[in-house]
Amino acid sequence: MFFDSFDSAQLESQLSGDRFTAVYRLFGNENTARSKAEDICAEQTVEFPVKLLPKTIAEKITGTIENFEKESEGIYRAAISFAEETAAVEFTQFINVLFGNISMKQGIQLVSVIPSKKILDMLPGPQFGISGIREITGVPQRPPLFTALKPMGLSAENLAELAAVFTQGGIDIIKDDHGLSDQVFAPFEERVQRCAAAVKEANVKFNRKAVYVANITAPFDKIIDRAYRAKELGAGGVMLSPGISGFDSLRKMTEAGLPVFAHPAWMGGMAMNPMQGVSCGVLYGTLMRLAGADAVIFPNFGGRFPLSHQDCMDIVTESRKPAGTLRPMFPSPAGGMELKNIRSMIENYGSDMLLLIGSGLFSCGDDILENCRKFIESAEGC
């Protein structure tokens, strides 16, 4: 009626038939959940009353409910597939189909993503991954030791001194705190130059292979420049908070050729509601890995943040599970971890993780070198 000139044969000829799938948890009784599933099919694609659509669009462009089942009382689970062409070979539009408009609806949680082949071709994932970072740092088996340069307010020179001490002390990866960007008291250029040089010098002096990771979360038009500049200045990795700068900035930034450490800042609100949003596993696991993160920092249960044990296990599973050609990504539980947490972290996650202890390396004693020694001892003792 409205679309007389629509050419259904042309549309059909443009579709490969390959589809990607998203799994949603839907809250409510069976009828409510089923109508949420049906709603997702249209809301995420055509945003149009299905009964008014041309038949081919209704059948091929709206999502298809592939499976619908009860998970427990009041919780259902729907697997919905979408023609891969709806995502336009763009990570941004892929994210929009998965959870764009329905992010504003209640009782819908995105809990699993199964990309199609074309989506995976577009998103090759980690360039280095677990084995790459192990090779760079020369740590074949135990969890590499990871810490952060802080607090904000120190000068670039102060931070570089700390970086040298951590290197001497045996820490494998030393990153900027995620709040260090380009502040007047520790400007990006000077900080990265000094910290990279300090780690390099200490590596030579103490026969170490420590890596300095520069935070490059930055204005839209400076992210890529900072990634390349960090590399030039000798950083061994870069960190980005894609909640702030967008997942696709992470994908693009991998082109600088350094290992990428993803930080969860800002996007927590998406995952803090058990009945809505995006599950921790998808947000910090699946999407970070698809974006190309080599390691993901996430707030571990039992620290300063309220994630559950299951949330964390889901992140770790999504980070490391076999997934076609995607390399495994290092999970890095963090957020208030102390030396006393190391045993349970290793028991929970095994040794394929980064042990990130930040301020906990200061609070366990007055002598940083001695604290580093305890850190190594705790990690090797497990």
Between residue 107 and residue 146, which ones bind a copy of itself under the rule CB under 8 A? none
User: Binding-site residue total for a copy of itself (CB under 8 A)?
Assistant: 101
Q: Determine the Cα–Cα distance for residues 365 and 28; give it in Å rounded to an integer.
A: 51
Candidates 338, 285, 291, 289; CA nearest to 310 is 285
Helix (H) or strand (E) holding 313: helix 309-320
Among 106, 189, 321, 377, binds a copy of itself (CB under 8 A): 106
Cβ-based nearer residue to a copy of itself, 67 or 106: 106
> For residue 132, how far is the Cα from the chain centroid?
17
Candidates 20, 52, 26, 53; CA nearest to 38 is 26
Stretch that binds a copy of itself, among 99-107, 204-212, 341-349, 372-380 (CB under 8 A): 99-107
Q: Does 176 bind a copy of itself (CB under 8 A)?
A: no
Q: Does 9 bind a copy of itself (CB under 8 A)?
A: no
Residues 272-297 as b/e (b if ≥16 CB within 10 A, e otherwise) read eeeebbbbbbbbbbbbbbbbbbbbbb
Residues 30-69 that bind a copy of itself (CB under 8 A): 43-49, 52-54, 56-57, 60-61
Q: Does 238 bind a copy of itself (CB under 8 A)?
A: no
Among 19, 208, 251, 327, binds a copy of itself (CB under 8 A): 251
Q: Does 315 bind a copy of itself (CB under 8 A)?
A: no
Q: Does 2 bind a copy of itself (CB under 8 A)?
A: yes
Cβ-based nearer residue to a copy of itself, 131 or 155: 155
Q: Does 270 bind a copy of itself (CB under 8 A)?
A: yes
Answer for the pair 153, 175: CB distance below 8 angstroms, yes or no: no
Write 310-316 long-range contacts (CB < 8 A, 24+).
311/271, 311/279, 311/280, 311/281, 312/280, 312/348, 313/348, 314/279, 314/280, 314/281, 314/285, 315/280, 315/281, 315/284, 315/285, 316/285, 316/348, 316/349, 316/353
Among 37, 40, 154, 192, binds a copy of itself (CB under 8 A): 154
DSSP helix/strand/coil, 177: coil
Cβ-based nearer residue to a copy of itself, 136 or 188: 188
| Shortest spacing between CB 232 and a copy of itself, in angstroms | 20
Stretch that binds a copy of itself, among 64-72, 96-104, 231-239, 337-345 (CB under 8 A): 96-104
| Shortest spacing between CB 348 and a copy of itself, in angstroms | 19
Q: Does 254 bind a copy of itself (CB under 8 A)?
A: no
Candidates 298, 211, 212, 216; CA nearest to 253 is 216
> For residue 59, how far is the Cα from the chain centroid?
34
Q: Does 81 bind a copy of itself (CB under 8 A)?
A: no
Q: Does 17 bind a copy of itself (CB under 8 A)?
A: no
Q: Determine the Cα–Cα distance for residues 141 and 355; give it in Å rounded to an integer.
A: 13
Residues 285-304 that bind a copy of itself (CB under 8 A): 299, 304
| Shortest spacing between CB 44 and a copy of itself, in angstroms | 8
Among 29, 35, 67, 92, binds a copy of itself (CB under 8 A): 92
DSSP helix/strand/coil, 175: strand
Q: Does 264 bind a copy of itself (CB under 8 A)?
A: yes
Among 125, 143, 236, 358, binds a copy of itself (CB under 8 A): 358
DSSP helix/strand/coil, 289: helix
Q: Does 337 bind a copy of itself (CB under 8 A)?
A: no
Cβ-based nearer residue to a copy of itself, 64 or 351: 64
Candidates 21, 40, 23, 42; CA nearest to 106 is 40
